[in-house]
Structure formats: C-alpha cells, structure tokens
A and B are shown apart, each in its own frame.
Chain A
Amino acid sequence: RKEVEQDPGPFNVPEGATVAFNCTYSNSASQSFFWYRQDCRKEPKLLMSVYSSGNEDGRFTAQLNRASQYISLLIRDSKLSDSATYLCVVKGNNAGNMLTFGGGTRLMVKP
C-alpha cells in the first residue's frame, strides 16, 4: 500500500461546480499535512496547509480526519484557472523533515 494515496482522476467539472478530493495516508504518526498545486510542466507550489481544526482560504477548504487517516480538499465555484493537479502531502515524524507526496489528482474545469 502506498503511504499517501489519491484518486488520479481526471475530474472534469463545469465552471462554477463544487468539487472535492480525498487523500488517505497510512502512517498514523504523520504530523503535518498539505495540499500542493502543480500546473502542467511546472513545479509544485503550496496551496494550503491542513490543520486539525480544518481551514478555509477563499473558495478552498481543507479538512483532516485523523481517526480515519484522510485529508480532503473542497473547491467551491470552480474557475477555469483551477485546472491543475492537486498533490496531497504528508510529513511524518521522521528525521530530515521529509515530505511524502501522493500521486496527485488531476482537475479539469471546463467552460
């Protein structure tokens, strides 16, 4: 089993739709959680951190469920510019501050 698993998609949604992605992680000792965004042929960039209490940034909401070991990302009112790959990232309690990446979920927002 992969340490961090995501549905690769693609998720094809119309503009204005609400879309949600889930990610599961296997290491119950994981400490920190993030969503990164990666545009085609570009480097990953931080979208948002995921806190135990959940957090919201504009149209984006991230939730963490430690008991079930999953993280979610909700995007409301999708824009064409949201089309990208969304990477779920987990940091365990390991030396070196290492991050483990999921394979990514591809989102395509259509007019």
Chain B
Amino acid sequence: NAGVTQTPKFQVLKTGQSMTLQCAQDMNHNSMYWYRQDPGMGLRLIYYSASEGTTDKGEVPNGYNVSRLNKREFSLRLESAAPSQTSVYFCASRGPGNTEAFFGQGTRLTVV
C-alpha cells in the first residue's frame, strides 16, 4: 500500500518556466489537497478537491492551477514560476469525517 505518492522529489526551475507536480493516492479518498511549507509559516493550503470533478482555492492559490484528473490523481501546475514559489510542496489526501490526512513525501522546488 503506497499511500500518497508525489513526483518529482526535487526540482529546480528558472523564472518563467512551467511545471506540473503529480500526486496520486491509492486509499480511495475523496478529498485531496496541495500545501506549501515555508520556514516559519507552517503548511498553507493552495488548492483542494473535495471530490472527483471539483476543485477550490485555498489560502494561497495565486500562481497555481490544479486538476483533479480522477479520484486517484490531483496535479498542481505552475504556469510561470517565480522565485516566491520556492518552497516545499506537499500533497495530502483524507477520508470522510474526522480521519487523519496522509501526506506525500514532498517536492522541494527551487525557482532561480
């Protein structure tokens, strides 16, 4: 049981380049999330998907887009990367009710 799988683990981009972070979960969870984590800021929600076919903005959505491709997969796209998007990105999924969230291993993104 792999849980939540994120790719890539590391990425360096030049300003203005685009890329897509991939996330897949095998726990049949409806809810999926993308967070970014910066020093001293904790985890901040970028976008979430409450169920297949729906996506909504979180706290810091500017500069990002998402796609909930199917129940398993939830991708995050940076159309034109900026140095302010240098961060660690975590994907997570969660079942219904008060269950715990499971996280992927994270993607360390540097934009130069």
Contact = CB atoms under 8 A, between A and B. Distances in A.
Interface of A: 4, 8, 31-32, 34, 41-46, 49, 87, 89, 91, 95-104
Contacts of B96: 97
A45 B103 contact: yes
A43 B56 contact: no
B40 A103 contact: yes
A97 B42 contact: no
Contacts of B112: none
B62 to A, nearest CB: 18
Interface of B: 30-31, 33, 35, 40-45, 48-50, 56, 58, 90, 94, 96, 98, 100-101, 103-106
22 contacts: A32-B98, A34-B100, A41-B106, A42-B105, A42-B106, A43-B103, A43-B104, A43-B106, A44-B43, A46-B100, A46-B101, A95-B50, A95-B56, A96-B50, A96-B56, A97-B31, A97-B96, A98-B58, A99-B101, A101-B35, A101-B43, A104-B42
Contacts of B90: 43-44
A89 B44 CA distance: 12
Nearest to B56: A96
Given A31-B98, A95-B50, A96-B48, A103 B42 contact: yes
Contacts of A4: 42
Nearest to A104: B42
